[in-house]
Structure 1
Amino acid sequence: MANLKAYNIALKGLGVGKHEFDYEVGQTFFEYFDGGIAENGHVDVKLELEKQSALLVLNFHVKGTVQIQCDRCLDLFDQPVENENTVFVKYGEEKFEEGDDVIWITPNETHLNVAKLIYDFILLAIPIKHVHPEDEAGNSQCNPEMLERLNQFTAHEPSEEETPETDSRWDELKKLLDNK
């Protein structure tokens, strides 16, 4: 995590109360997490940390755009993202499983790196379906050449002119299927 030292929060010397941290996530951040859905982007992250005597409450607000690949035409496009998440950091010698929003750290930890949390929250803000948004007229902004190619290989229902003639020997058996 040498490249992500900017995302370390020094826990020692941090006073009780609320603290704010601002991060700008760019291409070098996404390159560190190679192989993910998002390949590039510009995302602003506001982190409000509330230190209490026994735990930390981290409130993340993620807003910006990420570059992802369209599921339909395979071109890259900018997807707006916005998300708010809360994570609780508790102190303890043993790690317990209390859910996805609780992190356990030992009392002698000096730093908390939030880079992986930020990356996860950005990915959670991306919709499941990755398709170019439509323009003002309601038309798809996908690559037209790829859409034409997809239409060539897409199965479609035959029209009445294309319906093949059936063998008349099977007509009586088809009547049995209709008499359910």
Structure 2
Amino acid sequence: MDKAYMCTTSLLRIDLKALHEGENTAVYELDDAYFKAIAAPDIQKGTLALRFKAKRIGDLYELDFHVEGVVYVACDICLEEMGLPIRNDGKLTARLGDENVEDGDMVIVDKEDGVLDVSWYVYELIALAIPIKHVHEPGQCDPAMVAKLQQLSADGERPGEAESIDPRWAKLQQLRTED
């Protein structure tokens, strides 16, 4: 069984040279402190488990990541905080070299330092698992906000306001309704 670590960004700085030949594993618990430490732009809260596996073959490292848990974001409709379950996997290949270089999924780490910081990579893995549309289940949105939204929506007329059409487009409006 893997030991679970409360995650700090320093724990996500992997000393590649310290990994033993073969498979290395660890489990990290990511929470609000992780998102605050990396100054995450879109996610500030969450509770996730990160399972990390590194396979070392000489100076080549195959890194596998599996993240699963819940992140908290604002609902697109009512703006109330909501939990979104997420799950994602990622792979990264690293090797030691003369300088730090990133090329897609291959990272070259300076052999003098030998440390690879994956904290931002893990954040991107989490962010990419979040659906584009964040909405509560039907009936779960804040009713006051939904009512206000319907009152001010472009589809509904506001009381006391007559619909005004730009005079330049009035002629086109007549063409559309002459059927």
Q: Where on the TM-score scale, by shorter chain, does this alignment land: which range? A: 0.7 to 0.9
Q: C-alpha distance in 1, partners of 2:130/2:47?
A: 14
Aligned residue in 2 for 1:93: 98
Structure (1 or 2) with the larger CA radius of gyration:
1
**Relative to 1, partners in 2 of residues 1:23 and 1:143: Cα closer, same or farther, differing over 3 Å?**
same
Label 1:10 to 1:34 Cα distance change in 2 as closer, same or farther (>3 A): closer
Moved segments of 4+, more than 4 Å: 94-97, 173-179
In structure 1, the partner of 2:141 is 142
Deviations 1:51-95 (A, max 9, x none): 112321111000000111111111111110100110111222255
TM-superposed CA distance for 1:176, in Å, is: 9.5
Change in 2 beyond 3 A, CA 1:63/1:97:
closer
**Secondary structure of the corresponding residue to residue 48 of structure 1:** strand
Q: What is aligned with 1:107?
A: 111
2:123 maps to 119
Q: Which ranges of structure 1 fall in alignment gaps of 5 or more residues? A: 159-163, 165-169
Aligned to 1:152: 151
- How many percent identity over aligned positions? 30
Q: 1:38 to 1:23 in 2, by over 3 A?
A: same
TM-score (norm 1): 0.77
* SS of equivalent residue, structure 1 residue 12: helix
8 Å contact from structure 2 (residues 13, 118) kept in 1: yes
Contiguous gaps of at least 5 residues in structure 2: 1-7, 158-162, 164-169
Quick one: structure 1 residues 155 and 106, their matched pair in 2 at CA, closer, same or farther if it must change by over 3 Å? Answer: same
Q: Aligned residue pairs: how many? A: 161
Say which structure is richer in strand: 2
1:1-180 to structure 2, matched below 5 A, reads 4-94=9-99, 98-99=103-104, 101-132=105-136, 134=137, 139-156=138-155, 174=174
Distance 2:40 2:14 in 1: 26
